[in-house]
C-alpha cells in the first residue's frame, strides 16, 4: 500500500507537469485546481464491499485461533453504494471498545459521515505489536470486503495504550492510513518507519501516566518521518496546537497541548477532554481536502 500511494503521488507529479488532469493509477482521474499547477485532489476509491448489505453493531473475527471482537457504527443514512470514510478507534489499557464508543465522539457530521469501528484488544494493544498490526491488516481486509469504504479516507485514532499502538501503526502502516490521531499515547515500538502519514498528536503537559516527553518524542518522529521543516506554525485555537508542514501539504504533523479533565471533582491529566473528538475529525477533514503539494519535501534519499 505504501508503494501504491507513493507511485500514485509520483504519477500525479508527472502528469501535472504537462497537463491539467490525467488518468490516475488504477483508473479514474485526478482533477487539478485552476490557477495552481502544483496541486491535485484524490478521488474516492471504492472497496469491494460497495453494494453489499452492511452489518452494524457487535461482531467477531477469527484471527490466530482467537475470537476478536469489534463494534461497527454505521453513520445515519449510510449508503452501501457510496464510498465512506472509515475510522478505527483504539481504546486504552483500562478501557473497552464499548466504553470509548460513548465518548470518543468521532462520528463526524452529516456532511462528513464516517464509519467508526471500535476493535477490542486481546489483553491490551501493542504488547505484541507484530501480532496486533497483523490483526489490523486482517480486520481492514474484512471491513473493505463488507462495507463501502473510501480507501483514500482510512484513519486511525487511539487513547493512552491505544494511542501508543496508533503510533506503531503510524510508523509501520503509514501507507494504509490517510492520517492518524494519538491522544496521550506513549512511544511506539516499531522501527524503522515506512512512508509518510498525516498525524495529529494531543497530550497534556501535566500527564502523570504517560509523560508529556513521550508525546514530544513521537511528534518528532512523525516530523522526521514526513521530512518536514522544524519550524511550526499556530494551527488551532480550541487547544494550543502547532502545525509542522506548509499549509496544504499532504502529510502535516499537528501537536496540541490538552487541558486536564475532572474525575470525581479532581483534575485528571490523562483524559479525553471535551472537544478532542471534533478536533481530530476536523484534522481528518482538512487532510482529506488538502491537495498534494509537490514542492514541500526534498526527494527521498
Instruction: Summarize pLDDT for 198-218 with one digit per residue, the tens.
Output: 999 999 999 999 999 999 999
pTM of the model: 0.83
Q: How confident is the model at residue 279 (pLDDT cuts 50, 70, 90)?
A: very high
pLDDT tens digit string along 144-182?
Answer: 999 999 999 999 999 999 999 999 999 999 999 999 999
Residue 294 to residue 8: CA distance in whole angstroms:
12
The Cα–Cα gap between 165 and 170 comes to 9
Close Cβ partners of 210 (under 8 Å, ≥ 6 residues apart)? 160, 163, 164, 184, 185, 186, 203, 270
d(CA 62, CA 85): 24
Residue 36 CB neighbours (<10 A):
12
Give pLDDT, residue 248: 81
Give the E-state strand segments of the chain in sequence order.
21-23, 29-33, 36-41, 57-63, 66-73, 84-90, 114-119, 149-159, 179-183, 198-203, 233-236, 240-244, 253-257, 261-263, 266-268
Average pLDDT over residues 279-298: 72
Q: What is the pLDDT of residue 126?
A: 85
Comparing C-alpha atoms, which of 201, 165, 55 is closest to residue 117? 55
- Give the pLDDT of residue 106: 97
Which domains does the chain carry?
1-43 (no CATH), 45-289 (3.40.50.1820)
Predicted local distance difference test score (pLDDT) of residue 264: 59
Beta strands 266-268 and 261-263 are antiparallel
pLDDT in tens, 72-108: 999 999 999 999 999 999 999 989 999 999 999 999 8
Cα–Cα distances (Å) from 19 to 4, 33, 179, 202, in that order, read: 22, 12, 29, 40
Specify whether the CB–CB gap between 266 and 191 falls below 8 A: no
pLDDT at 9: 42
What is the mean predicted confidence (pLDDT) over 265-279? Answer: 90
Give the per-residue pLDDT at 108. Answer: 84
Confidence at 32, pLDDT banded by 50, 70, 90: very low
Distance, CA of 78 to CA of 283 (rounded, Å): 22
Chain segment 37-63, per-residue pLDDT in tens: 344 557 899 999 999 999 999 999 999
Buried b (16+ CB within 10 A) or exposed e, 274-283: eebbebbbeb
Closest alpha carbon to 215 in 180, 243, 196, 187: 187
pLDDT in tens, 243-253: 999 888 889 99
Amino acid at each position: 500500500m505504501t508503494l501504491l500511494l507513493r507511485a500514485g503521488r509520483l504519477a500525479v507529479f508527472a502528469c501535472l507537469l504537462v497537463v491539467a488532469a490525467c488518468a490516475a493509477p488504477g483508473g479514474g482521474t485526478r482533477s487539478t485546481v485552476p490557477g495552481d499547477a502544483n496541486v491535485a485532489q484524490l478521488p474516492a476509491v471504492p472497496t469491494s464491499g460497495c453494494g453489499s448489505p452492511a452489518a452494524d453493531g457487535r461482531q467477531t473475527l477469527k484471527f490466530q485461533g482467537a475470537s476478536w471482537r469489534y463494534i461497527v457504527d454505521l453513520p445515519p443514512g449510510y449508503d452501501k453504494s457510496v464510498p465512506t470514510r472509515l475510522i478505527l478507534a483504539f481504546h486504552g489499557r483500562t478501557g473497552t471498545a464499548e466504553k470509548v464508543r460513548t465518548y470518543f465522539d468521532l462520528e463526524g457530521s452529516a456532511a462528513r459521515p464516517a464509519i467508526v469501528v471500535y476493535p477490542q484488544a486481546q489483553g491490551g494493544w501493542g504488547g505484541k505489536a507484530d501480532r496486533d498490526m497483523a490483526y489490523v491488516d486482517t480486520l481492514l481486509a474484512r471491513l473493505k470486503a463488507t462495507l463501502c469504504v473510501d480507501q483514500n479516507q482510512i484513519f486511525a485514532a487511539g487513547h493512552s495504550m491505544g494511542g501508543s499502538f496508533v503510533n506503531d501503526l503510524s510508523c509501520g502502516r503509514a501507507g494504509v492510513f490517510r492520517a492518524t490521531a494519538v491522544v496521550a499515547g506513549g512511544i511506539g515500538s516499531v522501527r524503522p518507519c515506512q512512508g509518510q502519514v498525516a498525524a495529529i498528536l494531543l497530550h497534556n503537559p501535566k500527564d502523570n501516566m504517560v509523560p508529556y516527553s513521550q508525546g514530544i518524542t513521537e511528534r518528532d518522529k512523525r516530523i522526521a518521518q514526513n521530512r518536514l521543516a522544524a519550524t511550526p506554525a499556530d494551527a488551532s485555537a480550541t487547544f494550543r496546537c502547532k502545525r509542522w508542514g506548509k499549509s496544504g501539504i499532504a502529510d502535516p504533523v499537528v501537536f496540541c497541548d490538552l487541558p486536564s479533565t475532572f474525575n470525581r471533582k479532581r483534575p485528571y491529566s490523562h483524559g479525553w477532554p471535551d472537544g478532542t473528538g471534533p478536533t481530530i475529525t476536523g484534522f481528518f477533514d482538512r487532510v482529506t481536502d488538502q491537495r498534494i503539494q509537490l514542492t514541500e519535501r526534498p526527494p527521498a534519499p
